[in-house]
Amino acid sequence: MGDYYNYIKALHLIFVITWFAGLFYIPRLFIYHIEASQKPSPAKEILTRQLQLMTKRLWYIITWPSAVLAVLFASWLLVLMPSWLSQPWMHIKLVFVLLLILYHLKTHQIFRQLQRDEVKHTSRFMRIWNEGATLILFAIVFLAILKSTFNWIFGVVGIVVLGVLLMLGIKLYKRTRDKNPNI
């Protein structure tokens, strides 16, 4: 099972990486779309159409297929290694995977709104939303690597500290951008 298992694991990791690449980049495109919607014509229409096309290609050609394939290969790994399902670290990891899927579905909802030119969020909200995938990624990777040696208190504190640092980074960026709009 060694080589067979390693191929499945490698494919799972590749599609997790491409899934996260899409989840990291699409909110950035949403930010540009939201900011373009505030520009005067004809820049507003030109930028909006281009960003809708870029977003649609990223979402349907990279992000969705990667999500489906990552989950498919993960399921295959669990079939090959059913003992993992009895381990506490895997239960917690699966909770974070469920959060990731919910994050993906909510991002899909935002994607569909913007495809219909419905701007319901601010660019600041999207900058904060963008960090959700980062927090989930950190949690999943640490659980997968450290497994049962993971200190839960340290892990929870670490995720909270990371969240605080990300929010401070967003505030610092906003302050810098307010002072110099060309950034």
- Positions at the binding site for heme: 12, 93
Count Cβ atoms below 10 Å from residue 58 Cβ, excluding itself.
18
Phi–psi pair at 151, nearest 5 degrees: -85, 110
For residue 106 the two structure tokens come to: 């909510």
Of residues 67, 71, 79, the one with CA closest to residue 4: 79
Could you tell me which residues are annotated as the binding site?
12, 93
Of residues 136, 158, 116, 174, the one with CA closest to residue 16: 136
Q: What radius of gyration, in Å, describes the C-alpha atoms of the chain? A: 19
Residues in the chain: 183
Judging by beta carbons within 10 Å of its beta carbon (0-12, 13-18, 19+), is residue 134 exposed, middle or buried?
A: middle
Report the C-alpha gap between 181 and 174 in whole angstroms: 10
DSSP 40: P
